Amino acid sequence: MTAGASSGVLPAPSGPSGRYAAVPGLLREVGDLKRVRTADAEDSMAARAFVRAWAALVEGADPVSVADAETAAAVAGARLAGIDAGVLALAGLTADEARAVRDRAIDEVAAGVLHPTTLERLHAAPDPGTTATVPPAFVGALCRQPRAGATAPGRPRLIIEPPEDHGEHCWAVAVYGALLAEDHGADRGEAFLLGLAHHLHNAAMPDAGFAGEMLLGEHLEAVVDRLAERELATLPGPLADRVRGLLAARADAHTPLGATFHAADVLDRVLQVHHHARAAAFTAREALVDLELVHASPVQAHQNAVLDAAGLLP
């Protein structure tokens, strides 16, 4: 990524090759929560966090507080997956012990990668709360609405299975935006809220990708605005007004919020493509050698002997 006055992108304080060069590994692991599921729910952890965040916001929670709780949970989840405070409490850990586990996971994946202020607030953040509030219907619709993937005008679409859904993408952009906000001088609560809301129109509008949008031609902007307003009308008035104001930041990358949002959005879109490319090229050797699938243990020698005899060692 290049940066400078002519590009319309605000560089990170450490320079265009600084934070952007450091974060893809972390963001890739966070983004994998789109594909992590647990036995107590049908949806991915990312989709469940998307629903949870909107429920908290509709109940009146401060976007900064929601952003802090959800980003801390996401970064810890990069390594802990579904092992959260609730699971650890069920297993008998005290609140302090569970917090120490979460902090250890955060440091393992994010120390030396994120802005120091961002890392500090992750450690200070509470765990995501629970609420009986039911979020608006668009939240569930976005979790059911598949993403189009890579499309280009005049070309057949590239079908990649399984597709992510819009709830997962919006969650990822929200989390990435909150994690990058300090680097751009943006408000992390606003970056998080904009990420959650930037595809409101797709609750009713199936995703045909860039190719389909170009075919809408002169109608595109009006269609997107009308469908977004349709969903904004289902939010509490003050929250709707705040979201409506933030959506304008999508127009360019000349403001701290716009630069943060567009960085988060493009990183998620491209990391999603990288995920599919990696999955298609995955080899058994990567699991056995690079990831040490048969890891060190008292029975490792026996396990390797079994695989060797079976002809399954690389």
Contact (Cβ atoms closer than 8 angstroms) between residue 281 and residue 218:
no
Please report whether residue 13 resides in a domain: no
146: β partners: 165
Verify that 115 and 140 share a domain, yes or no.
yes
Verify that 212 and 276 share a domain, yes or no.
yes
Buried b (16+ CB within 10 A) or exposed e, 66-96: bbbbbbbbbbbbbbbebbbbeebeeeeeeee
- What would the DSSP string read from start to end of the chain? ---BTTTTBPPPTT-TTTHHHHSHHHHHHHHGGGS---TT-SS-HHHHHHHHHHHHHHHT--HHHHHHHHHHHHHHHHHHTT--HHHHHHTT--HHHHHHHHHHHHHHHHTTTS-HHHHHHHHHPPPPP---PPPPHHHHHHHHSB---S--TTS-----SSPPBHHHHHHHHHHHHHHHHHHHT--HHHHHHHHHHTTGGGGTS---HHHHHHHHGGGHHHHHHHHHHHHHTTS-HHHHHHHHHHHGGGG-SSSHHHHHHHHHHHHHHHHHHHHHHHHHH--HHIIIIIS-SS-SSTTHHHHHHHHHHTT---
Please report whether residue 241 resides in a domain: yes
Please report whether residue 65 resides in a domain: yes
Verify that 68 and 213 share a domain, yes or no.
yes
- How confident is the model at residue 161, as a pLDDT? 81
Verify that 207 and 190 share a domain, yes or no.
yes
Verify that 212 and 299 share a domain, yes or no.
no
Verify that 293 and 269 share a domain, yes or no.
no
Average pLDDT, the chain: 90
Tokens 């955060």 belong to residue = 106
Burial class from Cβ neighbours inside 10 Å (0-12, 13-18, 19+) for residue 99 reads middle
Q: What is the per-residue pLDDT across 68-122, written as a single tens digit (0 to 9) for each?
A: 999 999 999 999 999 999 999 999 999 999 999 999 999 999 999 999 999 999 9
Q: Is the pLDDT of residue 232 over 80?
A: yes
4: β partners: 9
CA 108 distance to own-chain centroid: 19
How many structural domains is the chain composed of? 2
| Nearest of 198, 75, 44, 68 to residue 129 by alpha carbon | 68
Looking at residues 257-272, what average pLDDT do you find?
93
Verify that 240 and 166 share a domain, yes or no.
yes
Q: What does the alpha-carbon distance between residue 80 and residue 62 come to, in Å, rounded to a whole number? A: 26
Q: How confident is the model at residue 152 (pLDDT cuts 50, 70, 90)?
A: confident
Q: What is the per-residue pLDDT across 6-29, written as a single tens digit (0 to 9) for each?
A: 333 334 443 444 678 889 999 999
Verify that 224 and 301 share a domain, yes or no.
no
Q: With the CA atoms of 93, 98, 100 and 101 taken in that order, what torsion angle do they form, in degrees rounded to the nearest 10?
A: 100
Q: What is the per-residue pLDDT across 218-230, written as a single tens digit (0 to 9) for each?
A: 999 999 999 999 9
Range of the domain at 312: 284-314
Verify that 34 and 138 share a domain, yes or no.
yes
Verify that 139 and 228 share a domain, yes or no.
yes
- How confident is the model at residue 280, as a pLDDT? 81
Verify that 211 and 237 share a domain, yes or no.
yes
Q: Who wins on pLDDT, 48 or 300? A: 48
